[in-house]
Structure 1
């Protein structure tokens, strides 16, 4: 429900002091597009869809015994459909369930060694037959031996929840390297880019920056956060970095065209190149490529999908409008 008087829309039923009575929208994106802002009480943008019941118990089993080699019959013995599990992990983690397990095992081994544990007993404990077995598996996954990896060359991957679906975050001590919707189809390409271009190894695991960016994303969707403070690390060609820095200057609630950005970076005839550089942005939302539109204001060229782009712009414009009336 949405109220033209207050400019607010709610998720019925809502226990706010003055629940709106007026227009009815089937989806929150429609209310946003119509210029209404989300209620602070019932938080209609909050993603209330829980993880499947099997997810946390399964994750606990993986983390408790990272040496275990999982197979489809193991899932079936737990009453799970292997195809359902595979699809859910791809959509929410960017990799299949079995790939996630392999990467978690490698990541756990690296974490322990980096924390000072002796390599030989850890390698045996985590189910590798020998150091050479681990080195071979690691090189097959990442293209170089684990001896080339230290704390500074690891990027830890975590799943974030948003009203628009899961996002994959990649963080290290240096900052945020990756933030993309997990289902966009380019996750594997992005991880390979980070590995080949930056020499970084991407592994599932915890990092303090991941819960921090989750808090900021929650505030962005639910409380109108206008700018992110989490540190980011961008790396590309000189032109790409110019474009990515220009994205950060687009004010909340506003848009710029590709030609506007081209002019800003000093290449008036490089509109198409700006489009390619925008598409190569690996840090969505924080580097707001969704605020770049066609010359006529049309929505084009968003890797997360035009539906998401429309939603994000409507969200920002409704919040910006509500603040302008205060």
Structure 2
């Protein structure tokens, strides 16, 4: 689990001292460089506020971080397993390849053996690793002002059509439709629980979702329509603010989100969202309880629909709503992620850091 690790101050001290006792047991994700390292890395040490510590390499990769070229955090697993070493070398040699199970089989490997080996060492499959590597590189090139063709090449796609299709599956539109600046700007935020897409105006956050959410392309299409197509890629002040607040949340420093929010919904939906923001971190309530608090005890299904319409994950904490029987029920980011978020927030509660959330915008 995420908090089976020692506290962040202990791990940061281990990083500074290059304590070999933690080698392979914990990894540091550095927000300012986008890389992850072993705690024995010889590189210059980042500031503590830019560090997030996790237990597995898979968590680093799923959060969008790349392996450090100084400490090579993938090497121990490769040295321990020739199958992993061969496939990692193949990925490095052909990052542009659209890897498939057929490719793995043609290299003479048993698919189930490879799947178990990568899941055991990294917490993710080889194909997952290859996919994350490709799309993140392309998105960051666009966010940095690069052209679509530069993003395609950086992402390792030989075919422009293949890059457009992969990008469209993620964001619901072709990269050329949102490349450059716009009234709203999309940006990529890595977290210990996976990559997120943020869309902001200069002053307000309009969307924050995990990239796996099935409704993400539809949500982005609605935002593009409301912005009359004026959606671009790049950083904004609001996105940088929520990035910092997410970093503080996952580092265990703060559970308060104060980034101003642009809320679009009916009066009832907005009332549900406001009520969600009053649930303290570490606490959970049922849909029926929310309906009761709003003075409409029969509106349980309407509350559930408003909960599902939330497109500001974590900031409007719909993950804190559970079934009347205590079950986790649905969550657009995945039930495993909902469970992890609730576990993270228990730390704030135990440490006396669980104030009511502050309403934004």
Into which bin does the TM-score normalised by the smaller protein fall?
0.5 to 0.7
Q: Is the 8 A contact 2:281 2:349 kept in 1?
A: yes
Q: Which has the higher contact order (CA 8 A, sep 6+)?
A: 1
Q: Which has the larger radius of gyration?
A: 1
Match in the other structure for 2:324 = 295
Matches within 5 A, 1:175-324: 175-196=204-225, 201-323=230-352
After TM superposition, give the deviation of residue 167 of structure 1 in Å: 0.7
Cα distance in 2 for residues equivalent to 1:296 and 1:210: 37
Q: Say whether residues 1:94 and 2:171 are aligned partners.
A: yes
Contact 2:284 / 2:322 at 8 angstroms: preserved in 1? Answer: yes
Distance 1:295 1:168, change over 3 A: same
Over residues 217-243 of structure 1, what are the superposed CA-to-partner deviations in whole Å (9 max), with x where a residue is unaligned? 011011241210111111111110110
Query: Deviation at 1:94?
Result: 2.6
Q: Which structure 1 residue ranges, 4+ long, deviate > 2 Å from structure 2?
A: 1-4, 6-11, 13-17, 40-66, 78-91, 93-96, 192-203
CA change 1:44–1:3 in 2 (3 A) is closer
Aligned partners of 1:42 and 1:249: how far apart in 2? 27
TM-score by length of 2: 0.58
Deviations 1:143-167 (A, max 9, x none): xxxxxxxxxxx21111111111111
- DSSP 3-state at the match of 1:223: coil
Q: CA deviation at 1:174?
A: 4.2
Is the counterpart of residue 48 in structure 1 residue 54 in structure 2?
no
Between the aligned partners of 1:222 and 1:71, the Cα distance in structure 2 is 34
Aligned partners of 1:2, 1:163: CA distance in 2, in Å? 9
Identify if the C-alpha distance between structure 1 residues 296 and 171 changes in structure 2 by more than 3 Å, giving closer, same or farther. Answer: same
* 1:10-59 deviation digits (Å, cap 9, x = unpaired): 88x95699x9x9xxx99xxxxxxxxxxxxx99722795333448965885
2:213 and 2:2 map into 1 onto residues whose CA distance is 31
SS of aligned partner of 1:177: strand
Map 1:19-38 onto structure 2 (within 5 A).
Answer: none
Report the Cα distance in structure 1 between the residues aligned to 2:311 and 2:290, rounded to whole angstroms.
18
Distance 1:199 1:238, change over 3 A: farther
Residues 176 and 231 of structure 1 are in contact (CA less than 8 Å); yes or no, is this contact kept in structure 2? yes
Map 1:35-114 onto structure 2 (within 5 A). 43-44=53-54, 48-49=60-61, 50-51=65-66, 52=133, 59-60=140-141, 66=147, 70=149, 75=153, 80=157, 82=159, 89=167, 94-95=171-172, 99-104=174-179, 107-108=180-181
Q: Deviations over 1:272-307 (max 9, x none)?
A: 110110000011100000000001211012111101
Name the counterpart of 1:167: 196
Q: 1:243–1:278: 8 Å Cα contact kept in structure 2?
A: yes
* Distance across 2 between alignment mates of 1:308 and 1:58: 23
Question: 1:87 & 1:2 partners in 2: Cα distance?
Answer: 34
CA 1:269–1:208 in 2, change beyond 3 Å: closer, same or farther? same
Paired with 2:228 and 2:335, the residues of 1 have a C-alpha distance of: 32
- Give the CA RMSD over aligned residues: 4.4
Structure 1 unaligned blocks of 5 or more: 27-39, 112-153
